[in-house]
Amino acid sequence: MVSGAKTGVPPLSVVTMTTLRPVDLTGHWNNRGISAAAGTGSGGFNVWRNSFPAEYLPPPGAQVEVEGVPFRFGGPDPAGDNIRCAGQYVELPEGRYDWIHLLTAAERRTEDTVALHFAGGEVDFEPLRVSDFWARAHAAFGEAKAFETPVMHYPHHVQPRVEALMWSQRVPVTRRAPLRGLRLPRNVAIHLFAMTLQTAGEPVAERS
Amino acid sequence: MSTPPATPALWYRDLISCLQSTLAAALLREGRDPVDALGAHWEFLFKPGDVTSEEFYYPCRYPGDLGRSLAPHHGLSTTWHRPADPGDPLEDVRRALKDGHFPIIAVDNFHLPFRPAYQDVHAAHLIVVYGLDEAAGQAYVSDAMPPAHAGPIPVAALLAAWTSSNPKDVQDAFFSDSAIGGRYLTVTVGDAPETTPAFVREVLTANVAGFEADRDTAGWGGLAGVRDFTMSLAGRARAGDARALEEAYPFGWGMQAQAALHAEFLRACGTRWEVPALREAARLAEHVAHAWTGVRITAAHGRSDPAAAAPDLARHGGRLVAAYEAAVAGLREAAGFL
């Protein structure tokens, strides 16, 4: 429903066919940001080697839903459980999309740029904004909070009252063309745990 | 002491350090808004050779006065001290508390039971002391940094943290290897102007002038200083200088926090007075804070191989310069609407 309250334009009803497609990121994992309480030393999300507690997150390979968007966590993989962004190029199932949803977290809040590569060779740069994973951080960019754990893992202990936060952020695809790839930022502060592509479909409008 | 002292307010923001959170505690005791006091002034200043490995490092424009350097418009001033009698360092705390002041003391987190680094990592930090019950062997301390704490700890722990040599710790290259040595800060909060549109216009004009100054006798200041700092950091990284990358983390924290608080200050004013240009300037200042993350975290992770990190440091340095330039233009434009 689109409000016309301020413009005097009557509200419109629109019908769209939304599809949501989790992306397999196998082959890109390069960081272990989640650890079990029995082995906190295996994690190293940030420079202090803190990590998310596995006990409070979905298991590897699980499908989760955040604000209606399905994400799939990476399966067990010796290479890690997330992508620490270092300019990787991620090939996508070619198609027309409207949003790229990301399960993400940052070692301090930051913003950078992703490059969207289209089938015709066009490239659009779009902002990627991610809030801090550290305790008491807020959604500085209006993201949805995906997970907030009651403890933080330190290399040698489990720390109560220091929460770890993971966010659901989205990047717009404004070009009406088939998307085929995504260049992640060269910014090691940003970590990516899952990605889902959304096609909102073209609206079919009728006067209500 | 039979009744525990009243707990001071704990004030925290995600991009600040213990420096801002402890000064905020002093400001709140005087009924001041920390965002007004700590967020009005904004500058860039790098002082080569001055950076210490402490969470509370800040390049002081007014030597030795962190308070005035952070809040020159708001009557805030701080003085560093060491205990007059090293044999009885608590006497300074007793005297301050008796006079109604809460000293801010430097500590080594390794000795503080409420810090995650307890008995694990050495790191220099600041906390507020707001009570002392020597009969019970307890000191009352507050710390707004997560996990926030306000309450008693053993006096023995306080003394150990306060007098620590804070030795070099491989787990913390940024805040260890800097002797604490009983240092503490006293804070005075003088008269402050009312936050009016005229005052904010004056502050914005002063901030812009500082950023655009041709020369800065205090160090590498203003936009020219940002350019020099970022080029120097990338250059030293290419030369394999790990120390340059280690310094970038504590130095950048002060700069990042100040940009974030200035953004919050401008956003609050722009919302209160319905001035969109102020809110837009706030967002541009906030962008500077976010660009600092790229510089700081890239430097932190790049210490083991500085030369390999040099290209990314150059990239993030360029983004930081562009962010500052855009923000300064935004401040100038916003001042015109006040």
Paired tokens of B98: 């008796």
Cβ contact A111–B315 (<8 Å): no
pLDDT tens track for A3-31:
445 567 777 777 778 999 999 999 999 99
Paired tokens of B265: 């200050």
Blockwise average pLDDT, block size 10, chain B, 338 residues: 82 98 97 98 98 97 98 98 95 96 97 96 97 97 98 98 95 92 97 97 98 96 98 98 97 98 98 98 98 98 98 98 98 97
* CATH architecture for residues A19-200: Sandwich (2.60)
Chain A nearest C-alpha distance from B95 (Å): 34
Q: Is A148 on the interface with B (CB under 8 A)?
A: no
Give the pLDDT of residue A16.
77
Span A80-100, mean pLDDT?
Answer: 98
DSSP A51: B
Rounded Cα gap, residues B207 and A58, in angstroms: 48
Give the pLDDT of residue A2.
44
Strands A34-35 and A52-53 come out as parallel
Whether residue B147 is preceded by a cis peptide bond, meaning omega within 30 degrees of 0, is yes
DSSP assignment string, B139-189: EEEEE-SSSPEEEEEEHHHHHHHHT-----BTTBTTT-SS--TT-EEEEEE
Instruction: Please enumerate in sequence order all residues whose Cβ is within 8 A of that of B170, keeping only pairs 6 or more positions apart, or say none.
Output: none
Paired tokens of B308: 């390999």
Inter-residue contact B222 to B213 (CB < 8 Å): yes
The Cβ of residue A137 has, within 10 Å, a number of other Cβ atoms equal to: 23
Closest CA to B48 of B237, B213, B238, B248: B248
Cβ contact B171–A111 (<8 Å): no
Q: What share of chain A has pLDDT > 70, as a percent?
A: 93
Cβ contact B147–A160 (<8 Å): yes
What residue of A is the nearest CA neighbor of B295? A187
Q: Is B254 on the interface with A (CB under 8 A)?
A: no
| CB contacts, 8 Å: A111 with chain B | 287, 290-291
Residue type, A85: C
CA distances from B108 to B57, B103, B141 (A): 14, 16, 14
What residue of B is the nearest CA neighbor of A113? B319
Inter-residue contact B249 to B174 (CB < 8 Å): yes
Q: What average pLDDT does the structure give for chain A?
A: 93
Q: Is A169 on the interface with B (CB under 8 A)?
A: no
Model confidence at A206, pLDDT cuts 50, 70, 90, reads low
Rounded Cα gap, residues A95 and A118, in angstroms: 9
Q: What are the structural domain ranges in chain A?
A: 19-200
Q: What are the structural domain ranges in chain B?
A: 18-32+65-189, 197-335
Rounded Cα gap, residues B61 and B70, in angstroms: 9
Q: Given A109, A111, A188, which is nearest B298 (Cβ)?
A: A188
Model confidence at A187, pLDDT cuts 50, 70, 90, reads very high
Beta strands in chain A (DSSP E): 12-15, 19-22, 34-35, 52-53, 63-66, 69-72, 83-84, 89-95, 99-106, 110-118, 123-130, 144-153, 158-172, 179-183, 190-199, 204-207
Cβ contact A154–B15 (<8 Å): no
Give the pLDDT of residue A15.
74
Cβ contact B14–A157 (<8 Å): no
Q: Is B50 on the interface with A (CB under 8 A)?
A: no
**Where does B18-32+65-189 sit in CATH, by number?**
3.90.70
Give the pLDDT of residue A4.
46
Closest CA to A161 of B60, B143, B316: B143
Give the pLDDT of residue A205.
59
Cβ contact A110–B147 (<8 Å): no
Q: Which residues pair with B76 in a beta bridge?
A: B189
Q: Is B10 on the interface with A (CB under 8 A)?
A: no
Inter-residue contact B331 to B262 (CB < 8 Å): no
Q: Is B15 on the interface with A (CB under 8 A)?
A: yes
Cβ contact A135–B146 (<8 Å): yes
B91-107 b/e (C-beta count within 10 Å ≥ 16 → b): ebbeebbeeebbbbbbb
Q: Given A136, A159, A162, which is nearest B12 (Cβ)?
A: A136
Q: Is B312 on the interface with A (CB under 8 A)?
A: yes
| CB contacts, 8 Å: B310 with chain A | none
Give the pLDDT of residue B184.
98
